[in-house]
Structure 1
Amino acid sequence: MTSNNDQIKGVSRRSFLYSLGALALSACGGGGSPAAAVAVSRATSLAATSSVTLAHVANGATDIATSGAFVHPGLLHTQADFDRMAQKVTGQASPWYDGWKRLIANGHTRLSWSPRPQVEVDRGGSGSQNYPVLYNDIAAAYACALYWKVTGDTAYADKAVQIMNAWSSTLQRLGGDSNVDLAAGIYGYEFANAGEIMRSYSGWTATDFAAFQSMMLNIFYPINVDFLNRHNNTDITHYWANWDLCNMASIMAIGVLCDDHTLFDQAANYFIDGAGNGAIAQAVYYLHPGYLGQWQETGRDQGHNTLGIALGGAICEMAWNQGIDLYGYDNNRFLAGAEYVAKANLVQADGTYLTVPYMTYSNVDVTQTGFSTASQGTIRPCWALVYNHYVNRKGLAAPWSTKFAMAIQPEGGGGDYGTSSGGYDQLGYGTLTCTRDAVAPATAPSGLTAFPSAGQVVLSWWGVANGTSYNVKRASSSGGSYALIASGITDPSTYTDTPSAGTWYYVVSAQTASGESANSSEVVAVTAVQPHTYLTFNETAGTSAADATGNGHTGTLVGGATHVAGRAGNAVSLDGSSGYVSLPNNVVADVSDITIAAWVFWNGGNAWTRIFDFGAGTGRYLFLTPKNSSGVMRFAITTNGGHGERGINGNAALPTGQWAHVAVTLSGTTATLYLNGSVIGSATDVVFAPWRVGSTAQNWIGRSQYAGDPFFSGSIDEFRIYRGAMSADQILTLAQAA
């Protein structure tokens, strides 16, 4: 893995950490009103077994909080995995035995291996970079540990222990430049895995095992956690996803090795809602239809892009073996990333590659407008793990990960693939260690979503392992009867419907060799403009602002927010220092096309105050400001902080000292900004709908996600949200209402 740009970037208004939380959406919106789109719960299936608990915190988010005894061995492999490997190798069953032959042919699996421990290991910088000594010894320790677990030959156990004891009694520090963060992350998770395999060996004394734990906890972990907390004092978008991922993997592995729940939970929760690019919502940067999840490093090169799958898969498997289903989190978001990367890098019979969709990506350093073909076709031994979890363990379809796994089977060790493929950035041997007999395929497609977009409805779903094609069905009422509207869909698993305006219900079924499967769970899509939230602010006292739609989206007055006379009836007054209105968590997280409108009386003030700002911190939000630094109104939405914003600058600031009607609409990728019923700005490249922002616990009227921005000073009345984009005439009608 090559070095990141080491230049230190100044920290802007962006904070390092924010909470993305967890989102659970039902088939209906609040109060029984049908939702515009149904997303699979971001919190469901996190608990894979009963060995952990989930702590539900007050704001509606779900944090992972493990308790009780860890499973040992319980990182990349469990004892059940080793029992399977031993049985399959003894019977010379393919492909396990083919993977075994790759292991024993590898030069690291030999009893003559002599460890070369160092007092200091350096990666990066102008001095001697001796980190290959470390990763080669780790590869040898891991390979010998596998050999022992499969055969019971204690000579190999002794060799693995010899290597680990040599390092734990010698290594005192990791050094170099910022690339030491990569060394601590990659070699930390790999070394911890070797130690976890060997912890039950009677020939490894308790004292020596404790010394190994101490090395991991006191030399590797401090660098891991410091990186995730500070990112070397750079802008949070500066470091590529793999820097976060390797350090998360190391923290998680050390947590299990050292029986430390705090470390394990820290890594698992960062994967879910961390601020950096390695957290899954940022790592899988953009979900294209059919759940092709564009990986964060796609515009950089495919060597790093494929490494993301190797590291992300390791994290998911280690968590799974401790009872946490990160694989399935956010509707199998990791699988979406794996399928995208696999499809883009799998060479075809004629030597070409398939094309994948691409969305422009921006961070503090670069804007990448297209897919990078650099290192395209990179092979890493990571696909057996992905394929075997989703297909053979869960019964889902993962066609591109499957094809890649089959094309490179049997997988060798990490070092077998050369430095051009990031050799030793992963442990490898997945054919031997990860292959499992298939479970029965899923009985129906799953994870169906239906998002309205400019009058159309875009559906995506996860297929079944034995599916050959898929059927899409639609009904005008919940539960059917469903009419078949499309059939014979193969790849990708998506369909775009163009129904009339209304409320529509969808299911998908699979065609298999034995016939048609059951229908998927039903989802609903609303293609007509429909009230979502309406705060009249007509209360005269208290801190509640009722939602007149009946959907239960009650506002809460906070700080210097009070009831005052408004345009007609009352309004909410915000004092410009602490007053704002808080809306419920995830208030627009199941909305795609949208209209937000309000009457606003602004007293004026500095730039970047907010009329509204719905988000999860400074990385993911949508907002409207009466005046930006250029002196005009601005609407923006982002899933990657300020550098990734898509939005509109109006042609004027919001007037001060008078009531003005403001509105913003989003229809597909077209956003329009209105002032007093007239268009003051528009853009056609706003590709982030509210649902893409994800779960949000900071949904505010009058307050910004950025702590340095001023609070709103003035009054707000008749704050409305609609599903669907109103027409210009409808906006004008709102603006002219008495």
Structure 2
Amino acid sequence: MKSNNEKNPGISRRTFLYSLGALALSGCDGGISAPVTPGSRATSRVSTSGITLAHVANGAADVATSGAFAHPGLLHTQADFDRMAQKVAAQASPWYDCWNVLIANSHARLSWSPRPQVEVDRGGSGAQNYPVLYGDIAAAYASALRWKITGDTAYADKAVQIMNAWSSTLQILGGDSNVDLAAGIYGYEFANAGEIMRGYSGWAAADFAAFQTMMRDIFYPINVDFLNRHNNTDITHYWANWDLCNMASIMAIGVLCDDHTLFDQAVNYYIDGAGNGAIAQAVYYMHPGYLGQWQETGRDQGHNTLGIALGGAICEMAWNQGIDLYGYDNNRFLAGAEYVAKSNLVQADGTYLTVPYVSYTNVDVTQPGFSTASQGTIRPCWALVYNHYVNRKGLAAPWSTKFALAIQPEGGGGNYGTASGGFDQLGYGTLTCTRDAVTPATAPSGLTAFPSAGQVVLSWWGVAGGTSYNVKRASSSGGSYTTVASGIADPLTYTDNPSAGTWYYVVSAQTATGESSNSAEVVAVTALQLHTYLTFDEASGTSAADATGNGHTGTLIGGATRAAGHSRNAVSLDGSSGYVSLPGNVVADISDFTIAAWVFWNGGNAWARIFDFGAGTGRYLFLTPKSSSGLMRFAITTNGGHGERAINGNVALPTGQWAHVAVTLSGTTATLYLNGNVIGGSTDMVFAPWRVGPAAQNWIGRSQYSGDPYFHGSIDDFRIYRGAMSTDQITALVQGS
């Protein structure tokens, strides 16, 4: 992995997070099922107790675990080892095939001699001796596996010898910024070896404590410092894998050391950290059919596939402690895995399948297309993905399944058998992860439906063994349903073309035993529908009622008062502290939209906001009366300022007078209006409000960026619609309001 700096108990914790994902998919009152994700944080934020589902969904609290950890409880549990031992003893395929790969590896032999170092360096001008460390880790892990599967204590003693040698010798990890990779990758791997051995009677308590101290005092400080500071770079500078490996290390050390603070840090960063390794950024863009474009897709496929290996390790370690990160945000990790697997699995004729792609921009680069560099890279990560989703959960994961079966039995310790690569993974997944299949899911799950330019785009997760899928539509909730499409096999998506109205959808699967039950129902609105309407006509008080009855009440904050408006009253904002706050997630279930208002601007510096809805400086949509160019600008992003898709108006917002502003989105076409006239547009607006995700900071008159000025002036008749108004409808709105 190259340096980024190169140019080129109650309810179970698992049930809790699964429920959080289910809440996001329960069907909304206006069209789509949108991801629910807590707000951004650095790992230094202390976890709180008394956590509730609503708190997490609105970003108000961290996930906080408590009670005893399961041991062994990282990548493998005792039940896993019991299964491995039974399958190997029975010489059952494919477990026994992978066992033979393990025992043939030089790292799994009793002749291995550890080579502990006082200092290990990765990067910089000094000696690059980190291969000595990862070689010994591979040997410790392989020996630990051999002991747990056969009971041969000679291998247990070998693993303990290696770990004691390092814990009594290592004092520092050094080098340049690549030390962050060393601390992350080798940290989570070494902690896993230690976790396997912790119950061995031949490992003296003092020696185990010394190993824990090494992990906590030498590896962890580098891990947590990286996630908190990213070496003082722009948050988009480092690729997802840098975050992921450090999250994995923190999580593993937390379990090894029975420290919930560390474990919770990793879980919370995965859920909604600011960096690219947090799952909302790692799976950068969700294409129809739940093909989740991984953040490093435009870089190269070697790094892209590593993301799946690291993300899978995090999910499995969390799962074994009762946290379902696999299922979080409607199986967002699986979407990323399926995308990466599909695009890297070589076909019989030596070619690769194509996958959809949207351009990606960070502080350093713009990547306009899918990178074929290192395409076809094989890493021993697919057995874990396949066996969790298919053989543990009963879902369909066709591309991860094909990849896993194509490369088994894979090795480890730098010798993956049919797989290539180094020591970034522990390997042997066919042996350690393969499990007998459970009964398939009874119906497709995770159905979403969102309007796009008058159409409805549906996506869903299939069932293990499903051969095709049927899409059904009704005009009222609960049916009766009419089948509008059948025989859908891959990808699992369908675009419907209903007339304007409110439509209800379900999906069923065809299996070898017949048709499955229907999925949960979702609703999509293809007619123009008023979603939020703030007239600001109240004579006093801090509440601004939502005239639609949808409960999207605004709250006047700071220097926000009442004043004469374009029609009756308006809210007057003082340009210093005044703004209006709307409820959390107010636009999280909206795709196509119209946002319109009457605005009286007193003028001022650039980057004030007419509105700004978001979750901080990484994910938002806003309209400013004046950008640095002096012109109006609308933008939306899921990757901070560098990733904004924007409309730059061609005129300035006038000052000292009432003006009507509006912005619409229909599919990928966005249009900006001033007084009913088009002043700018874009046909490449691939983001919609639901892609921003849940947002607790939904403001009229205030920016997500603390350094931006507050709006100075008055705002009246603030409206949000589902659906994009036409130019004629915007004109009529201006004339009639």
2:31 maps to which of 22, 36, 55? 36
Distance, in Å, in 2 between the alignment partners of 1:58 and 1:348 is 43
Which one-letter code corresponds to 1:287 in the other structure? M
Query: 1:243 touches 1:278 (CA, 8 Å); kept in 2?
Result: yes
The equivalent of 2:2 in structure 1 is 2
Which one-letter code corresponds to 1:474 in the other structure? R
After TM superposition, the score normalised by the length of structure 1 is: 0.95
Query: 2:563 touches 2:569 (CA, 8 Å); kept in 1?
Result: yes
For residues 150-189 of structure 1, what are the alpha-carbon distances to aligned partners after superposition, in whole Å with 9 as ceiling and x for unaligned? Answer: 0111110010000000000000000000000000000000
The equivalent of 1:272 in structure 2 is 271
Which one-letter code corresponds to 1:5 in the other structure? N
Q: Alpha carbons of 1:375 and 1:414: their partners in 2 closer, same or farther (altered >3 Å)?
A: farther
Task: Give the secondary structure class of the aligned counterpart of 2:415.
Answer: helix
1:452-463 equivalences under 5 Å are 452-463=451-462
For residues 370-408 of structure 1, what are the alpha-carbon distances to aligned partners after superposition, in whole Å with 9 as ceiling and x for unaligned? Answer: 111110100000000000000000000000000000000
Q: Alpha carbons of 1:545 and 1:414: their partners in 2 closer, same or farther (altered >3 Å)?
A: farther
Which one-letter code corresponds to 2:426 in the other structure? L
Task: Give the secondary structure class of the aligned counterpart of 2:64.
Answer: strand
Distance, in Å, in 1 between the alignment partners of 2:51 and 2:244 is 22
Task: Give the secondary structure class of the aligned counterpart of 1:66.
Answer: coil
Distance, in Å, in 2 between the alignment partners of 1:419 and 1:676 is 64
The equivalent of 2:682 in structure 1 is 683
For residues 447-504 of structure 1, what are the alpha-carbon distances to aligned partners after superposition, in whole Å with 9 as ceiling and x for unaligned? Answer: 0000100011100000000100000011111111100111100000000011111111
The equivalent of 1:500 in structure 2 is 499
For residues 666-701 of structure 1, what are the alpha-carbon distances to aligned partners after superposition, in whole Å with 9 as ceiling and x for unaligned? Answer: 000000000011110011000001111111111111
Q: Alpha carbons of 1:7 and 1:617: their partners in 2 closer, same or farther (altered >3 Å)?
A: farther
Per the TM alignment, residue 28 of structure 1 is displaced from its structure 2 partner at its CA by 5.6
Q: Alpha carbons of 1:368 and 1:183: their partners in 2 closer, same or farther (altered >3 Å)?
A: same
Distance, in Å, in 2 between the alignment partners of 1:484 and 1:567 is 49
Query: 1:598 touches 1:662 (CA, 8 Å); kept in 2?
Result: yes
Per the TM alignment, residue 734 of structure 1 is displaced from its structure 2 partner at its CA by 1.4
Query: 1:53 touches 1:64 (CA, 8 Å); kept in 2?
Result: no
Per the TM alignment, residue 37 of structure 1 is displaced from its structure 2 partner at its CA by 1.1
Query: 2:21 touches 2:35 (CA, 8 Å); kept in 1?
Result: no
The equivalent of 2:343 in structure 1 is 344
Task: Give the secondary structure class of the aligned counterpart of 2:485.
Answer: strand
The equivalent of 1:231 in structure 2 is 230
Task: Give the secondary structure class of the aligned counterpart of 1:533.
Answer: strand
Distance, in Å, in 2 between the alignment partners of 1:390 and 1:414 is 26
Which one-letter code corresponds to 1:481 in the other structure? S
Distance, in Å, in 2 between the alignment partners of 1:692 and 1:295 is 15
The equivalent of 2:573 in structure 1 is 574
Q: Does 1:121 align with 2:116?
A: no
Task: Give the secondary structure class of the aligned counterpart of 2:527.
Answer: coil
Task: Give the secondary structure class of the aligned counterpart of 1:64.
Answer: coil
Which one-letter code corresponds to 2:542 in the other structure? T
Q: Alpha carbons of 1:363 and 1:419: their partners in 2 closer, same or farther (altered >3 Å)?
A: farther
Q: Does 1:185 align with 2:184?
A: yes
1:60 maps to which of 50, 55, 58? 58
RMSD: 1.7
Distance, in Å, in 1 between the alignment partners of 2:364 and 2:418 is 26
Distance, in Å, in 2 between the alignment partners of 1:188 and 1:502 is 55
Q: Alpha carbons of 1:385 and 1:304: their partners in 2 closer, same or farther (altered >3 Å)?
A: same
For residues 308-359 of structure 1, what are the alpha-carbon distances to aligned partners after superposition, in whole Å with 9 as ceiling and x for unaligned? Answer: 0000000000000000000001100000000000000001111111111111
The equivalent of 1:651 in structure 2 is 650
- Bigger shift: residues 86-95 or 420-429: 420-429
Per the TM alignment, residue 7 of structure 1 is displaced from its structure 2 partner at its CA by 8.0
Which one-letter code corresponds to 2:390 in the other structure? V
The equivalent of 1:49 in structure 2 is none
Which one-letter code corresponds to 1:584 in the other structure? P
Distance, in Å, in 1 between the alignment partners of 2:241 and 2:618 is 18
Q: Alpha carbons of 1:254 and 1:733: their partners in 2 closer, same or farther (altered >3 Å)?
A: same
For residues 539-593 of structure 1, what are the alpha-carbon distances to aligned partners after superposition, in whole Å with 9 as ceiling and x for unaligned? Answer: 1222111110010111111111111221222111111111111111111111100
Per the TM alignment, residue 417 of structure 1 is displaced from its structure 2 partner at its CA by 4.0
Task: Give the secondary structure class of the aligned counterpart of 1:574.
Answer: strand
Per the TM alignment, residue 22 of structure 1 is displaced from its structure 2 partner at its CA by 8.4
Per the TM alignment, residue 630 of structure 1 is displaced from its structure 2 partner at its CA by 0.3
Which one-letter code corresponds to 2:538 in the other structure? E
1:143-292 equivalences under 5 Å are 143-292=142-291
Q: Does 1:445 align with 2:444?
A: yes
The equivalent of 2:389 in structure 1 is 390
Distance, in Å, in 2 between the alignment partners of 1:210 and 1:602 is 65
1:700-711 equivalences under 5 Å are 700-711=699-710
Distance, in Å, in 2 between the alignment partners of 1:328 and 1:26 is 12
Task: Give the secondary structure class of the aligned counterpart of 2:107.
Answer: coil
Q: Alpha carbons of 1:530 and 1:23: their partners in 2 closer, same or farther (altered >3 Å)?
A: farther
The equivalent of 2:629 in structure 1 is 630
Distance, in Å, in 1 between the alignment partners of 2:543 and 2:458 is 37
Distance, in Å, in 2 between the alignment partners of 1:89 and 1:23 is 38
The equivalent of 1:485 in structure 2 is 484
For residues 233-254 of structure 1, what are the alpha-carbon distances to aligned partners after superposition, in whole Å with 9 as ceiling and x for unaligned? Answer: 1111000000000000000000
Distance, in Å, in 2 between the alignment partners of 1:378 and 1:25 is 34
Query: 1:609 touches 1:704 (CA, 8 Å); kept in 2?
Result: yes
The equivalent of 1:699 in structure 2 is 698
Query: 1:193 touches 1:253 (CA, 8 Å); kept in 2?
Result: yes
Distance, in Å, in 2 between the alignment partners of 1:377 and 1:677 is 52
Distance, in Å, in 2 between the alignment partners of 1:134 and 1:726 is 61
Task: Give the secondary structure class of the aligned counterpart of 1:175.
Answer: strand
Query: 2:382 touches 2:403 (CA, 8 Å); kept in 1?
Result: yes
Which one-letter code corresponds to 2:505 in the other structure? Y
Q: Alpha carbons of 1:474 and 1:578: their partners in 2 closer, same or farther (altered >3 Å)?
A: same
Query: 2:35 touches 2:694 (CA, 8 Å); kept in 1?
Result: no
Q: Which runs of 5+ in 1 are unaligned?
A: 9-20, 44-51
The equivalent of 1:539 in structure 2 is 538
1:550-561 equivalences under 5 Å are 550-561=549-560
Distance, in Å, in 2 between the alignment partners of 1:501 and 1:163 is 68
Task: Give the secondary structure class of the aligned counterpart of 1:423.
Answer: coil
The equivalent of 1:372 in structure 2 is 371
Task: Give the secondary structure class of the aligned counterpart of 1:334.
Answer: helix
Which one-letter code corresponds to 2:268 in the other structure? N
After TM superposition, the score normalised by the length of structure 2 is: 0.95
Distance, in Å, in 2 between the alignment partners of 1:400 and 1:58 is 32
Query: 1:192 touches 1:254 (CA, 8 Å); kept in 2?
Result: yes
Task: Give the secondary structure class of the aligned counterpart of 1:474.
Answer: strand
Distance, in Å, in 2 between the alignment partners of 1:273 and 1:548 is 33
